[in-house]
Structure 1
Amino acid sequence: MPSQPRETLERFFDAYLTQRDLEKSLSFLTEDVYSLGTGEHEIAADKQALAVLMREEFHESSEPVKYELLNYREKSLTPDVCASFCLVDLDTSDGAGGRLQFQTRLTVGFVRRDGDWKIGSIHMSAPSIHQPEREFLPLNYGRQDVVHMQESSQKKLLKLMSDVIPGGIMGGYMEDGFPLYVINDELLGYMGYTYRELMEDTGGKMAKIIHPDDLPLVEKQVWSGFRGPGEYQVQYRMRRKNGTYLWVYDKGRFITTEDGRAAMISIIMDISTSIELQKRLTKEATVDALTHLLNRREAVRRLEMDDGKGALMLIDIDDFKQLNDHLGHQVGDSVLVELGKILKENVRENDVAVRFGGDEFLVYLSHTDSESIARHKAELFCQLFARRTSQLYGKLGPTLSIGVVCSSEKMPFETWYARVDRAMYTAKRSGKSRVHVDVIK
């Protein structure tokens, strides 16, 4: 039976913590897995780097570690990508005859490969027991009658905080454009600015460094937090000095400054690598690697979401096997790529072009149930493909057979596919390099 995400995680922990088996542990991970542990050095950007860390750990201690997953939660991002969160209770020897028990938080990203789930990212963090509930950047004073620290002490404290917090610090007034209140060198470094350059470029308005498409969401989250719970968190794109953007995670709380103005103070983390990985995993789960068209799973999902009024084409390359046998699979792959280009260049943005499997392709013309329009488009595909392949391979250049079904009403994908499959074989039986159209009324 194909594995499920939680099952994969438990099998990984059994191999890693209980059996202390390195090779078996690595078998549950993707090649480009990235991992963040609770230790400062426990950072790995791929399986090879993680293997080095695990080998060092096993060398230091081969003692089995007891574990228990608690409060496991899972969220599907795409049919082949999901994320989970849980608490992990750990129990191991302290090296002196006693036991060491502790709890960590665990976030895991999963990717489905060939039917089985693999771990693509691991992030383990230790919760703080010292931070009061709902307190952000807590500061506690020894004397309750101390109202203000001296300016030199404030600067020393902010410098210390800047050194230990893993990210940038920024504060803005709760006024139009979020005028800058405070910023640290770490965040300036993220953006490639000096303080003076930032002020000159933005006029001191921090809204100007937020991507225009993201600004409405940021404003909504910040102002909602200000009027409500007193805190906010949001992800958005932040502009660098060179005009490029980086993705950041921004978590803030609200304060009143010395002059009585409302302001926010936030910690900002660069999450560009994580966002790019999510995009890549999503693309791998939905796009055919060879032709860069949608894959079968994503095509079925989109067609099932459509209202059903349209034309579905099933395209088959005539005599494709003979082409592979005579000229080799590399040539066969190049023919598939050429057909993919033709389809992408000749469909609309809201149409669907798919490599359905092998040398079969699907095209769905959304909101187009006209027989004449669908026939014209299918014949255009045939002409363009035959012209291109004859230029490249002469008499061995293959042609297309295309079945088309036009429908003005929604139907299950399996029913629609069965109809268009019959139409395509009717085209083949009539002499290949043909188009056959059926209309469902």
Structure 2
Amino acid sequence: MLTNRFANYSYTAVDRFLRYVQIDTQSDPQSTTNPSTEKQKDLSRVLEQELRDMGLSDVELDAWGYVYATIPATTDKANVPTLCLCSHVDTSPDVTGAGVKPIIHTHWNGSDIVLPDDTTQVIRVHEHPDLQHQIGNDIITASGTTLLGADNKAGVAEIMDAAHFLLTHPDVKHGRIRLLFTPDEEVGRGTEKVDMQKLDARFGYTIDGEALGTLEDETFSADAVTITVQGVSTHPGFAKGKLENALKIAADLLASLPKEHLSPETTEDKEGFVHPTRFEGNQDQAVLEFIIRDFTEVGLQEKETYLQNKLNDVLKSYPGSSAQLLVKEQYRNMKKVLDQHPDVVENALEAIRRAGLSAERRSIRGGTDGSRLSFMGLPCPNIFAGEHAFHSRLEWVSVQDMHKAVEVIVNLVQVWEERS
């Protein structure tokens, strides 16, 4: 039985993870290059070499920082679809990823975890309910001054370990598997340069989720909004009755937005939001950037109309000024695609159950590379990687959850082989 093989298997995921997180791969939303930061390729090059060291010959690191590789099929069945396993190498721009010092808290006893390099950073049990299932497990954190990078280097390490398992256990039957490691997921550009013809897969899975046993088959739909305010500029010493300060106009718009709803800090479940992410300028011109999120496209349009109406109301007090609101599509709810391919979700749920876990379908208040890949012709739900407290200094993952993710990946490719 596969579970017996895992009982004697020496997992490599954690060793890989501890190495990967020490490589700074932070992406940059203001950059116009691909990838947005060259340092992301530092990890891509490591993955390329490790895959070659495993014995894979079909490995490529392209100019954009994407790593492609193939695990050949071990089945005699001709109709097993090619699967893609995908994770991203970059970390969030929200918190520095330079100088990460990972710490393993072995046999965690259930008490709050104080991070040693900044003791004001405390992972409090009552604020992290998933920790209640981790007592006795080994918890990996950063030291308090950086994020950890579990999002998504846990997923990268788990895919690499699953590849190692499959290549050292050729008796495990599976179809052709394509591995894809992407840059710039955190800045919404993770699939921008994916060559779908080169990828050549029928279905896919991102390994980029949170709690043990969860599968996410629904995401936000997402747009970006840029508002450019043109004020009336003049010398401040002679400005009475003339000056209309673009910074103040933009600030009035921000101040008019509600705090009790339509904001990330006061919404949950299926509630969407309007979220300012950047503000810069001078008295002549100011630029505001927003992300708009909802689970439906109708909801997105309603929120964009709401923002336009707020802007129009503010401009009534500044008759000489103007503003332009520009909407850019980012990604759409993958559920629209996945509902047309129920086997993609059901096979993943079965793989989770075979790992001895309670499988749970969830909606994610965010997006993954799978959101866009699904609409690019690769139906692609998101499997747990054990990541928690994303984009923060309190990020953590457990060793045991990472091992279960590896097992689920191996189960998954077997389920597809059996059911094809």
TM-score, structure 2 normalization: 0.27
TM-score, structure 1 normalization: 0.26
Structure number having the greater strand percentage: 1
Higher relative contact order, chain-length normalized (CA < 8 Å, sep 6+): 2
**Max Rg structure:** 1
Structure number having the greater helix percentage: 1
